[in-house]
Amino acid sequence: MTRRERANLRNGLLFAAPFIVGFLAVYLYPLVMTMVYSLQRYNVIKPPVWVGLANYRELLVEDPRFWTALYNTVYFTVLSVPLGLALALGLAMLLSLKVRGQAVYRTIFFLPTIVPVVASAVLWMWVFNPQSGLLNGTLQEFFGIEGPGWMADEHWSKPALILMSFWTVGGAMVIFLAGLADVPQSLYEVADIDGAGPFRRFWNVTLPMVTPVILFNLVIGLINGFQYFTQVYVMTNGRGEPVGSTMFYALYLYRNSFYYLNMGYGSAMAWIMFLIILSATLAVMLSSKRWVHYHGE
What residue spans define the domains of the chain? 62-291
- High-pLDDT (> 70) share of the chain, %: 99
Under a CB-based contact definition with an 8 Å cutoff, are residues 110 and 170 in contact? yes
Question: Which of 1-5, 64-68, 127-131, 149-153 bottoms out in mean pLDDT, i.e. has the lowest?
Answer: 1-5
Residue-level pLDDT at 212: 94
pLDDT, tens only, 143-198: 888 889 999 999 999 999 999 999 999 999 999 999 998 888 888 888 888 888 88
pLDDT, tens only, 98-141: 888 888 989 999 999 999 999 999 999 999 998 888 999 998 88
62-291 topology per CATH: MetI-like fold (1.10.3720)
pLDDT at 296 over 70: no
